Amino acid sequence: MTDLLFKHFRGTTTPQEEDQLKEWMESCPEINSKIYKEACFLYEAGVLYGDDQNLKVKKPITSRRIFSYIGAAAAAVAIFFGVSKYTGHRTLNRIAQQYTTTQTAPGHQVDLTLPDGSVVKLNSDTKLEYPPIFSGKERRVKLDGEALFEVARNEKSPFIVETFASEVEVLGTKFNVLADEQKARFETTLINGSVKVTNISDPNNNLIMKPGQTVLYENGNLSLQKADTDALCWTAGQVSFKGLNFVELMAAFEKAFGVNIVVADDNLPDADYSYGKVRVADGIDHAMHVLQQSLDFNYTMDEATNTITITE
């Protein structure tokens, strides 16, 4: 019976199973209402710790007359099927508000599967907050950094990525989001499906994207443009030089390789790259040597502090 109760709490019972539960409650309301309460407690704990699928009551609950019998069988059944539904929703909503945080360190990436089956790939130095279960009319996560999302389709529950600048809303699709609040940089690239991006500071500023498009956040407004083919190279373990000056490229290297880079020379190398990539797997030394083919600079590496110092 406990397995059936857990199905009831998850909202996956059939009408026949609901009738079975009703008959069970009518058979002995006083005892079975206590069993219900214990099962509800176990279910809450199981959901909270991500193991609700394997919950079992190890021994039956025995009846001890601690409380007097109050109310008739019909009243107990009404309480069970009326209040329990409210309690179940309240429990799920409370758990859904207790966000879990996953944060990647510089130089590391993480693959996650969310409670609804959606898959997320987190780039280095990225934080994602998400609930242990999705409850209600939407599936909401919070992103600071960069991530590639493959969202499980659910037309009744839109998937929303909340960032410092905008909200990205989808039903089921594949897209990339970069949200760097410190640099006031936000962009979304759509691979397939459909995405709606809404400016948090101006809800009327919203755009519907098509595959192959990118939305940028610039000067407080959203704009639409053709997607850069290099926008997703990080998912293949690469760092693109395209569109970056030397300072921006060093910041990209710090993030991808997990190192600290200090420029000791005031005269930075003059560079603004239109193309070029390096593989993270080849290491930071290889990346710096590639740069030295076109720029005049030297560097030293302090292994103890994981710091690169760039000099003339």
pLDDT per residue as tens, the chain (312 positions): 667 776 776 667 787 887 787 787 777 766 777 677 666 655 555 544 444 444 443 333 333 332 333 344 444 444 444 545 444 555 555 655 678 899 999 999 999 999 889 999 999 999 999 988 887 789 999 999 999 999 998 888 999 999 999 999 998 899 999 999 988 999 999 999 999 999 999 999 999 999 999 999 998 999 999 998 888 999 999 999 888 888 889 999 999 999 999 988 777 767 666 678 999 999 999 999 988 888 888 899 999 999 999 887
Q: Please check whether residues 212 and 289 belong to one and the same domain.
A: no
- Residue span of the structural domain in which 46 resides: 2-96
Euclidean distance between CA atoms 251 and 248, whole angstroms: 5
Euclidean distance between CA atoms 171 and 138, whole angstroms: 10
- Strand segments, DSSP code E, in the chain are 100-103, 110-113, 119-122, 127-130, 139-150, 159-162, 166-170, 174-180, 185-192, 195-199, 202-209, 213-218, 221-226, 238-240, 260-263, 277-279, 298-302, 307-311
Q: Please check whether residues 105 and 221 belong to one and the same domain.
A: yes
Q: Please check whether residues 221 and 243 belong to one and the same domain.
A: no
Cα distances from 96 to residues 12, 59, 89, 134, 159, in angstroms, run 18, 29, 10, 6, 14
**Amino acid found at 110:** V
Per-residue confidence (pLDDT) for residue 190, from 0 to 100: 96
Query: CB neighbours of 306 closer than 8 A, spacing ≥ 6?
Result: 258, 259, 260
Q: Please check whether residues 27 and 66 belong to one and the same domain.
A: yes
Q: Among the three residues 52, 68, 96, which one is the final residue of a domain in this structure?
A: 96
Burial of 239 (0-12, 13-18, 19+ CB in 10 A): buried
User: Residue 106 belongs to a domain with what CATH number?
Assistant: 2.60.120.1440
Per-residue confidence (pLDDT) for residue 113, from 0 to 100: 93
SS3 label, residue 119: strand
Per-residue confidence (pLDDT) for residue 77, from 0 to 100: 47
Q: Among the three residues 96, 128, 159, which one is the final residue of a domain in this structure?
A: 96
Q: Please check whether residues 156 and 208 belong to one and the same domain.
A: yes
Report yes or no: 209 and 231 within 8 Å, Cβ to Cβ: no
Report yes or no: 108 and 84 within 8 Å, Cβ to Cβ: no
Per-residue confidence (pLDDT) for residue 288, from 0 to 100: 93
Q: Please check whether residues 50 and 111 belong to one and the same domain.
A: no
pTM of the model: 0.68
Per-residue confidence (pLDDT) for residue 95, from 0 to 100: 56
Q: Please check whether residues 130 and 84 belong to one and the same domain.
A: no
Euclidean distance between CA atoms 202 and 206, whole angstroms: 8
Q: Please check whether residues 18 and 129 belong to one and the same domain.
A: no
Query: Angle at Cα 83 formed by Cα 78 and Cα 89, nearest 5°?
Result: 145
Compute the Cα dihedral for 268, 272, 275, 281 and give only its sign. positive
Q: Please check whether residues 111 and 213 belong to one and the same domain.
A: yes
Q: Please check whether residues 104 and 196 belong to one and the same domain.
A: yes
Classify residue 231: in a domain, yes or no: no
Number of domains in the chain: 3
Alpha-helix runs per DSSP H in the chain? 2-10, 15-27, 29-48, 73-96, 246-257, 284-292
Q: Please check whether residues 131 and 207 belong to one and the same domain.
A: yes
Residue 105 has what DSSP assignment? P
Per-residue confidence (pLDDT) for residue 133, from 0 to 100: 81
Q: Among the three residues 182, 205, 226, which one is the final residue of a domain in this structure?
A: 226
Euclidean distance between CA atoms 189 and 231, whole angstroms: 8
Classify residue 232: in a domain, yes or no: no
Euclidean distance between CA atoms 18 and 31, whole angstroms: 18
Euclidean distance between CA atoms 159 and 137, whole angstroms: 9
Per-residue confidence (pLDDT) for residue 44, from 0 to 100: 55
Classify residue 300: in a domain, yes or no: yes
Cα distances from 136 to residues 89, 93, 126, 182, 197, in angstroms, run 9, 7, 26, 32, 21
Classify residue 140: in a domain, yes or no: yes
Per-residue confidence (pLDDT) for residue 26, from 0 to 100: 72
Per-residue confidence (pLDDT) for residue 143, from 0 to 100: 97
Nearest-CA neighbor of 175 among 209, 201, 134? 209
Q: Please check whether residues 208 and 295 belong to one and the same domain.
A: no
